Amino acid sequence: MPQQYVLVLNCGSSSLKFAIIDAQSGKETLSGLAECLGLENASLTYKLNGNKHTVSLAQNAQHAQAISLLVQLINDNKLSDQLIAVGHRVVHGGEQFTGSVIINEEVISAITKVSALAPLHNPANLVGIEAATKAFGTLPQIAVFDTAFHQTMPSKAYLYALPYALYKEHSVRRYGFHGTSHYFVSGQAAEVLQKPIEDINLISAHLGNGCSVTAIKGGKSVDTSMGITPLEGLVMGTRSGDVDPGLFSFLSNLGYSAKKIDNLLNKESGLLGLSQLSNDCRTIEEQYEKQNPQAILALNVFCYRLAKYIASYTVPLGKLDAIIFTGGIGENSNLIREKVLNLLTIFGLSVDNDKNLKARFGKSGIITNNNSGPIALVIPTNEEWVIAQDSAQLVKEVK
């Protein structure tokens, strides 16, 4: 059988992450990132057969130009004949999408409709869909939603205690994000535990620039920390996570506009706001080791909030088999994992320092001591692989 490749696209407001993935083996043939789109120094970096290349794009180049260059790369390297679909990461699917779908006019209008709930993400995803449809007109385009995995949450988990009309008329509720990642790592955890996913209960912590934690019962999301937008919940790189909603009127009385408050909570808070150093966890950890008090404070708040969330998710689960760490921080920071697990000794968790140190830089593994209680695991996420598999499956179903 000839190779079947899926082009996976993940569009941010000024970036485009892409990968061409073999739908059978998961091997990436071509992958890369276009950055600073719409800005002076737009560029595209790609890896082909293990070699890295960087190309400068025209000043203010947009997603369409980055996609043109990608098309050229695909054609020059004779990859187009094997392409069977383009899979798009779409951040917000509202309540309508409980799984991945082939994109048509109706799907585009539904994604547009919920754009107000993810103004930083959905419009960029739509730009990517439009540009890819123009460039790869004959290929099926698939949407894979961050929110879809969380559509199994019960109403007691997804409803805010607000006037019910806000939910009925304006869809105000918890949606949750990072669903593709939580789904992927939960499947991997079942393999490590050597049990059917239906029989195990997991808490998965996706800790990257954005951070979220999810309670997964028998393979289904039953609660998650991000809300109507990706701002709620854990402390993140630049996002505050949970704050008292009373803060809004307090800040507006100080003269802050809604836009300024939004910017403060999304872009100036989290690890960056607390540490006053950086949103990059590596920088904060370096300073933590040097006893910088702001770095210590930032990591303490980060770990305490995360441990509290993990503890609270034992409520919907009843019994807990494993805690999973993933995302750039979860996969690499042995320090944060140790600090969090040390706050959770009530569940019988105890860190194995040696194993914790080894499970970094792409290596997975169990990081707790062998005992009869729950375990903690490090599992590198692979959202692109889920998008490629879903896309290939949908293409197969319509044939």
Give min distance, CB of 317 to ligand AMP, in A.
25
Q: Footprint of ligand AMP on residues 197-226 (CB under 6 A)?
A: 208-209
By beta-carbon proximity to ligand AMP, the closer residue of 281 and 388 is 281
Using rule CB under 6 A, residue 282 touches ligand AMP: yes
Using rule CB under 6 A, residue 227 touches ligand AMP: no
Using rule CB under 6 A, residue 363 touches ligand AMP: no
Give the CA count within 13 Å in the CB-facing half-sphere of 6: 31
Using rule CB under 6 A, residue 327 touches ligand AMP: yes
Give min distance, CB of 279 to ligand AMP, in A.
7
Out of 22, 76, 81, 146, pick the active-site residue: 146
Measured distance CA(357)–CA(351) in Å, rounded: 10
Give min distance, CB of 329 to ligand AMP, in A.
4
Using rule CB under 6 A, residue 275 touches ligand AMP: no
3-state helix, strand, coil in the chain (%, to 5): 45, 20, 35
Give min distance, CB of 204 to ligand AMP, in A.
14
Measured distance CA(225)–CA(268) in Å, rounded: 20
Using rule CB under 6 A, residue 329 touches ligand AMP: yes
Q: Verify whether residue 146 is a known catalytic residue.
A: yes
DSSP three-state, residue 236: coil
Using rule CB under 6 A, residue 286 touches ligand AMP: no
- Spatial neighbors of 383 by CB under 8 A, at least 6 apart, are 10, 89, 180, 181, 184
Using rule CB under 6 A, residue 332 touches ligand AMP: yes
Helices (H), 77-224: 105-113, 122-135, 155-158, 164-170, 179-193
- Spatial neighbors of 385 by CB under 8 A, at least 6 apart, are 21, 26, 184
Contact pick of 227, 237, 241, 273 for ligand AMP (by CB under 6 A): 237
DSSP letter (8 states) at residue 255 = T
Closest-by-Cβ residue to ligand AMP is 328
**Structure-block tokens of residue 177:** 């994000």
Using rule CB under 6 A, residue 28 touches ligand AMP: no
- Judging by beta carbons within 10 Å of its beta carbon (0-12, 13-18, 19+), is residue 346 exposed, middle or buried? exposed
Report, as residue numbers or ranges, the catalytic residues.
146
Positions that interact with ligand AMP (CB under 6 A): 208-209, 237, 280-282, 285, 327-329, 332-333
